[in-house]
Amino acid sequence: MSEEILLKAEDVKQYFSVKKDKGKRATLKAVDGITIDIYKGETFGLVGESGCGKSTLGKVFLRLYPLTGGKIEFKGEDISHHKGKALKEFRMKTQMIFQDPSSCLNPRRKIKDILTEPYVIHKMYDKAEREHKAKELCDMVGLSRIYLDRYPHEMSGGQKQRVGIARAIALNPELIVCDEPVSALDVSIQAQVINLLEDLQEKFNLTYIFISHNLSVVKHCCQRIGVMYLGRIVELAPSDRIYENALHPYTKALISAIPTIENDGEDRERIMLSGDLPSPINPPSGCAFHTRCPYATERCRTERPELKETEQGHFAACHNI
């Protein structure tokens, strides 16, 4: 991991207008003021419960949504309001690997058409060169070329995810958002896909934003981790520090839930959180976690804590630290 900042987000907000009862509308704050730097060549992990805004933030980084507020810079260039040709050029440098390979591949198209589509969209190469590139992509991701003439439904989940990965690297991007890329796969296949991603990262100097709720997977492949809760990052630190010395009560609860083998030497007490994740339509006042936190004080209920650096590279948003 270098010290060069590839992507920089400043106070990024992503709100959605949603319908409520009796035709009324409300604002859903999916991402609510996130500031973060992503360094070139790193794998940055985003973890948290379902509904905390991880996937939305990943899509915001790729400008798949128009920003509600804040700013995003890519390689020093403000891309927050890019449109048309400028946005199309930016998206050549950034790609996404989706959670469910079955739902992100067009069932009516053969694999060779899926893999050559990026070249068609960006008007690159002639037909023969595109087909040659598709064969090369298959080789890169460990997929037999015989699948080029098959349809997605004729392949297993792991094979389809390799197609998704091949499509993502087709245009030689610099940043790839991996949105839970192994959660829909069998455990036996997960390690193969993760090893493939690591090999491609080393070969092409890729930068990953790895979104997951599986903390064991994130621990294995990420250098830094950001913990999200209700649209905000509550803790950010190098991977080993998160697991060895978590500071935020929510992070501690997540880590305590990681399954361990009996008598493996770890004496980890399970932390049970009370209540459910609050609605992002009507988030709690003050610290959003105070409704479930066993250490909440009156200050937590009224004043929202800022993400502050407690030691070099380790940030947490908690009044009690």
Average pLDDT value for residue range 259-267: 57
Cβ-based neighbours of 89, under 8 Å, separated by 6 or more: none
Place 268 in a pLDDT band, splitting at 50, 70 and 90. Answer: low
The CA-based dihedral angle spanning residues 53, 58, 59, 61, taken in that order and rounded to the nearest 10 degrees: 120
Task: Report which DSSP code applies to 190.
Answer: H
**Nearest CA-CA partner of 129 in 115, 149, 143:** 115
Task: Report which DSSP code applies to 50.
Answer: T
Asked whether the predicted pLDDT for residue 214 surpasses 60, the reply is: yes
Task: Report which DSSP code applies to 226.
Answer: E
**Nearest CA-CA partner of 321 in 305, 301, 298:** 305
Spatial strand order in the sheet of 207-211 = 94-97, 175-179, 207-211, 43-47, 224-229, 232-238, 314-316, 308-311
**Nearest CA-CA partner of 180 in 270, 110, 103, 239:** 103
Asked whether the predicted pLDDT for residue 263 surpasses 50, the reply is: no
Measured CA to CA in angstroms, residue 182 lies from 226, 236, 247 at distances of: 19, 23, 28
CATH class of 5-93+174-186+201-316: alpha beta
Rounded Cα distance, 58 and 38, in Å? 12
Cβ-based neighbours of 290, under 8 Å, separated by 6 or more: 284, 296, 300, 301
Asked whether the predicted pLDDT for residue 66 surpasses 60, the reply is: yes
Q: Are 190 and 182 in contact (CB under 8 A)?
A: yes
pTM above 0.85, yes or no: yes
Report pLDDT digits (tens) over 124-162. Answer: 999 999 999 999 999 999 999 999 999 999 999 899 999
Quick one: tokens of 93? 């440098």
- Tell which wins on pLDDT, 266 or 103: 103
Domain boundaries, given as residue ranges, for the chain:
5-93+174-186+201-316
Report pLDDT digits (tens) over 222-242. Answer: 999 999 999 999 999 999 999
The per-type count for the chain, helices as H runs and strands as E runs, is: 10, 12
